[in-house]
Amino acid sequence: MSGNDEPVRINKFIASSGLCSRRQADELIERGKVTVNGEIAESGMKVTSGDLVEVDGKPVYPESGKIYIALNKPLGITCTTDRRDPSNIIDFLGLDERIFPIGRLDKNSSGLILLTNDGSIVNKLLRAENEHEKEYFVTLDRPYDESFKSRMEDGLPILGQKTLPCKVYPEGKRSFKIVLHQGLNRQIRRMCEYLGYRVVKLKRIRFINITLGELKPGQWRKLTAQELSGLLKGKTE
Q: Which residues are catalytic?
A: 106
How far is the CA of 206 from the CAs of 38, 43, 120, 133, in angstroms?
24, 38, 21, 8
Q: Chain centroid to CA 21: how far?
A: 32
Q: CB under 8 Å to 141, separation ≥6 — which residues?
A: 174, 197, 198, 199, 200
Helix (H, G, I), strand (E, B) or coil at 94: coil
CA-based end-to-end distance of the chain: 29
User: Positive or negative, the Cα torsion across 41, 42, 44, 48?
Assistant: negative
